[in-house]
Chains A and B, each alone.
Chain A
Amino acid sequence: MNIVVPVKVVPDLVDELEITGDGNALDMTFMRMALNESDDHAIEQAILLKERGEATVTVMIPDVEDAERILYTAVAKGADQPIKLTGDFEDAVNNHALARVFARAVKEKELKPDLVLTGVQAHDDLDGSLGPLLAEYLEMPYVGYVSGVTLTDGKATVRKEYPGGLIAEMEVTLPAVLGIQAAEQPPRYVAISKTSQAMKIGGIVEHAVEELDPSGGPTVSRMSQPEVGERAEMIDGDEDKVATRLIEIFKELGVV
């Protein structure tokens, strides 16, 4: 069983996002990047499957800052093959370009995946999520919003979540691409010493990609911070004054 997990990094929201002077893109100059959360779940799900049976887990990431740490953390958790795609990923890359690059690498590296697990979404998905695009280029079926996978004889039984709390259980013939919403357990903690050990051993395979092809994605004409609406009314004064004013407002609104 070959499981391939293509992952990507997204802007880390711990810092404020800034927009370039042109006003149509995020300013990446000082941007801190983080592993996309649902991709972290995809890695966890792959390792859970490996622990339940025979599987080789390949994790693939574009060469951006922190890529190696992310790969070695995955290795410390149990991934077998870390692949770093090298190329010009400096600027924001859309999912169309990424999906083409991932699909190509899967073929060129002859990974022959039975299962491709990827995070179902990312907060920078401007052109749709990665999974369906990847499934198209790999000519495989796709199921998204998956929160549980069981493998049986060339098939996967997956739990797919629907809005409103509905859960469907469905069967998909392998090979297939799954968009992971949540792994069956939260991504595990791996001690720094284990990651450092993985780093010392090394083993990242670099794979050069040719020019990125973002065609098919949208063109961003303007990007802006959330616009400030009408300010909320702040009620000053002591408890009695505040309570009186609140009751007035509720009466005005017809709540009481």
Chain B
Amino acid sequence: MGRGMSRVARLQRIEELLLSTSEGYTVKELADRLGVHRTTVWRDLTELSLEAPVQQFDSRYLIDPKDYLSSVRLSAGESLMLYLAMRRMVRRRSHVPPMMRLALEKVALALRHPDAVQLAESIKAMQDGQPADPERAQTWETLVRAWMDRITVRITYQELLGPRPYDYEVQPYLFEPAVLSEGVYLIAHSLTHNAMRTFKVERIEKAMLTSLRFERPQDVDADELLRQVWGPWYRDELVEVRLRFDDPVVARRVRETVWLPSQQIQELPGGGVEWSAQVIDVVELVPWIRGWGPDCEVMAPLGLREHISEMERRIGGVMMVTKVPESPTVSDTFLKSLREFVDGDRFLTCLHCASCSGVCPFGYLMEFPPRRMIAAIRADMFEEVLKTDSAWMCVACYACTEVCPQKIPIAAGLMTRVKEELLLTGNVPAELQDALENSGRYDNPLGESPRKRADWTKGIEPEIPIMAKAKRPVDVLWFVGDYPSYHPRVQLVTKALAKVFHALGVDFGILGPEEVTDGDSQRMAGEHGLFEMLAEKNARAFAKYDFNEIVTTDPHAFNSLKNEYPALGISYPVRHYTQYLAERLDELQPLLTEELSATITFHDPCYLGRVNGIYEEPRALLKAIPGVELVEMSHSHESSLCCGGGGGGMWLDGFQWEKAHVRLSEWRVREAVSASGADGEFRTALPTKREIEKARKKKPGQEPVGRRDVQILAVACPYEAPRFEDAAKMVEGAGRLIVKDIAELLAEAMGEE
């Protein structure tokens, strides 16, 4: 084996053998081991003695490692490499053991470079900058000695997270520099644990040799040991750490380096990598992982992921930047909420033409009519708007929205949101508060008993089918509504509509006590939470029964069922009764046998006309009544004037009167009087058939009671009959004006049963 060995190699081998024995070798033993003649060994031993302290005891030769400084001959390049490695290790240490500094100094000199002396001087200077720490220096000396001589050593070790230092008896097997820091680890067999353990040398506070020597077992493979440990950090179980680097540039940096011997790198689509390694303890990885910042995502283990995430969160708290980004202002937040509406971005396009403020029936006395509200948002002073109660003058009539050249959702968006803001801060007029509380408590704004919702049906023949009792599918589910159910005046409309339905043979049913207020006006008054709660109640009732479509008495109910409920997942075909009847006009027409002989003007309800574009169906029904002359008011169709009941106005009469001292309903009634020419004889009811006959038999030449004598304001919304009747009492010359719902006029035109 040794026969082909060069002399230099043989000398090295002999040196190693002599160093590794404590008993010493005889010349014969060495000759046998090297496979050379004894004289060759003799000659080699003589030469080796010139350079190394070879000792002889009773013809046995050995070298005592304690006294031995290996002489190494390095090329210039090799010296530089060694110098760089040591330099790196030394530079960032808080404490440089003297032996480390001396070694570096020697390597620097070994460079034989013109500047080598200067380098060595600078290394010497390092010592001057550091406090002498003889104890630490001693620790290093002791550990090296224990490692060299295989002596068990007692160390005092302070764990990073330990409460206090503990003593361990360990047998040092190996030193290993940390991969990602400047530390040095001692891998040793701990007698205390009876297991392999890793100790960071920097944390060993004291080391003392014991008298116990040890042998390193042959089966401990240093490579295997090092391959698996991080740090290295020898403990019990291996943990898989997986890190994900998505950025291709960062991933390239990850690939460049062997961060850990056990690492695996898996390519990801998009140029990223997933880095994984088996480690014993993840704690030592933390600084390295955090060094990657947000480029590194910890995929496993979960505890590490949480730890890193928590650290980064805390950093945000500790390193608070003095200039904190400004929090959004009231105006910003409000505008953001407006932009969430359908067409909400149009708020940004306002031209400030003030058409909205001009057309608004109460715009002239609002501190902030719509245009000024938008201006306030732009001026970042929206909180000023919230200090006023301007918004409670809004009757949600959609006149502003209709006239806006930019088609900004003023009524649905701006005005409703402002009301909501006012409501959330408790800025609610008392009357409105009652209506809202009643709606929440009794399911109707009037504060009536929910059990009495179908009381209007008592005594009606044929009986009005209530779904819970009828227990059968129907074609039409008639959503009666609040005022049609409870208000004595509007109940007349309801009964009339029931009569029309019966006459037409409509297969219908009502929910009765299971019906709750549609919530639309409450929604337009800013109570969106209440609206949702009510809608859900109705939805539960709808879901219980079979029907083909919903028909409403009330345009507000129609509007919410058609346009708002679907967003809450409540979607049914729905029509206002005027639409339903207009479609069946062919069947209805023959039933309208009684001549009414009246001038009729029709008031377009806001939520039928402007909001939902239904203008012709109600007029078609009116025109079908014999003897009717239909005239239009100066404001009609899209420009119709509001009765004042929308958007919560129905429950703000007192509040609005105090502010305005006018009623919108009176304004409308004046227009109706003017259009229909209602003046002269005072009438409170339609002329009966008998009256008309009687009049016709009067003296020849005298005008019969006819269309010129009866003026009717026709309506199609339950808010309107009571509002306009009240207004007619206040408007001079309106005493003759008769307010009738289209349903009532149709029922009357059908005559007696």
Which of A's residues lie within 8 Å of B, judged by CB? 14-15, 32, 34, 186, 188-196
Contacts and interface: CB of A to CB of B under 8 A. Distances in A.
Contacts of B528: 193
Contact of A191 (B441, B449, B529): B529
Contacts of B430: 186
A14 B438 CA distance: 11
A189 B426 CA distance: 6
Contacts of A188: 426
Contact of B428 (A14, A34, A189, A196): A189
Contact of B527 (A14, A34, A192): A192
Given A192-B440, A194-B529, 15 more contacts: A14-B442, A15-B449, A32-B449, A186-B430, A186-B433, A188-B426, A189-B426, A189-B433, A190-B426, A191-B530, A192-B527, A192-B529, A192-B532, A196-B529, A196-B533
Nearest to B424: A191
15 contacts: A14-B442, A14-B448, A14-B449, A15-B449, A32-B449, A34-B441, A186-B430, A186-B433, A189-B433, A191-B420, A191-B530, A192-B527, A192-B529, A192-B533, A195-B529
Nearest to A186: B430
Contacts of B451: 15
Interface string B422-452: 0110101010010011001110000111010
Interface of B: 420, 423-424, 426, 428, 430, 433, 436-437, 440-442, 447-449, 451, 527-530, 532-533
Nearest to A15: B449
Contacts of A190: 426
Given A14-B442, A186-B430, A196-B529, A191 B423 contact: yes
B436 A189 contact: yes
Chain B CB count within 10 A is highest, among A188, A189, A190, A194, for A189
Contacts of A189: 423, 426, 428, 433, 436-437
A186 B430 CA distance: 8
A101 B449 CA distance: 32
A104 to B, nearest CB: 31
A181 to B, nearest CB: 18
A32 B532 CA distance: 23
Contacts of B423: 189, 191
Contacts of B533: 192, 196
Q: Is chain A's interface secondary structure helix, strand, loop, or mixed overall?
A: loop
A32 B447 CA distance: 13
* A-B interface, 7 closest residue pairs, ranked by CB to CB distance from nearest: A193-B529, A192-B529, A192-B530, A189-B433, A189-B428, A14-B449, A188-B426
Contacts of A15: 449, 451
Contacts of B440: 192
Contacts of A191: 420, 423-424, 527, 529-530
A208 B458 CA distance: 46
A119 to B, nearest CB: 17
Contacts, number: 38
Nearest to A77: B426
Contacts of A34: 441
Chain B CB count within 10 A is highest, among A14, A32, A34, A191, for A191
A192 B433 CA distance: 12
A207 to B, nearest CB: 26
Contact of B447 (A14, A192, A194): A14
A194 B527 contact: no
A25 B433 CA distance: 34
Contacts of A192: 440, 527, 529-530, 532-533
Nearest to A195: B529
Contacts of B530: 191-192
A190 B440 CA distance: 11
Contacts of A195: 529
A233 to B, nearest CB: 24
A212 B420 CA distance: 44
A196 B529 CA distance: 8
A193 B532 CA distance: 9
A194 B449 contact: no
A186 B426 CA distance: 11
B447 to A, nearest CB: 7
Chain A CB count within 10 A is highest, among B430, B436, B440, for B440
A186 B437 CA distance: 13
A122 to B, nearest CB: 18
A3 to B, nearest CB: 20
A193 B436 CA distance: 13
A191 B430 CA distance: 14
A1 to B, nearest CB: 23
Contacts of A193: 424, 528-529
Contacts of A194: 424, 529
A201 B428 CA distance: 25
A189 B424 CA distance: 9
B455 to A, nearest CB: 12
Chain B CB count within 10 A is highest, among A193, A195, A196, for A193
B514 to A, nearest CB: 16
A192 B436 CA distance: 9
Contacts of A32: 449
Chain B CB count within 10 A is highest, among A14, A186, A188, A194, for A14
A33 to B, nearest CB: 11
Nearest to B452: A15
A34 B440 CA distance: 13
A245 to B, nearest CB: 22
B452 to A, nearest CB: 8
A190 B426 CA distance: 7
A191 B440 CA distance: 10
Chain A CB count within 10 A is highest, among B428, B448, B529, for B529
A27 B430 CA distance: 33
A14 B437 CA distance: 14
Nearest to A34: B441
Contacts of A186: 430, 433
Contacts of B426: 188-190
Nearest to B428: A189
A238 to B, nearest CB: 13
A186 to B, nearest CB: 6
Contacts of B441: 34
Nearest to A188: B426
A110 B442 CA distance: 37
Contacts of B447: 14
Nearest to A193: B529
Nearest to A187: B433
Contacts of A14: 442, 447-449
B144 to A, nearest CB: 65
A191 B528 CA distance: 9
A28 to B, nearest CB: 16
A138 B489 CA distance: 54
A15 B420 CA distance: 32
A51 to B, nearest CB: 11
A191 B422 CA distance: 10
A72 to B, nearest CB: 12
A172 to B, nearest CB: 29
A196 B451 CA distance: 25
Contacts of B437: 189
A192 B528 CA distance: 8
A192 B532 CA distance: 9
B270 to A, nearest CB: 41
Nearest to B425: A191
Nearest to A16: B449
Contacts of A196: 529, 533
A15 B451 CA distance: 8
A108 B175 CA distance: 67
A35 to B, nearest CB: 10
A166 B528 CA distance: 43
A16 to B, nearest CB: 8
B534 to A, nearest CB: 9
A128 to B, nearest CB: 28
A191 B532 CA distance: 12
A14 B440 CA distance: 14
Contacts of B428: 189
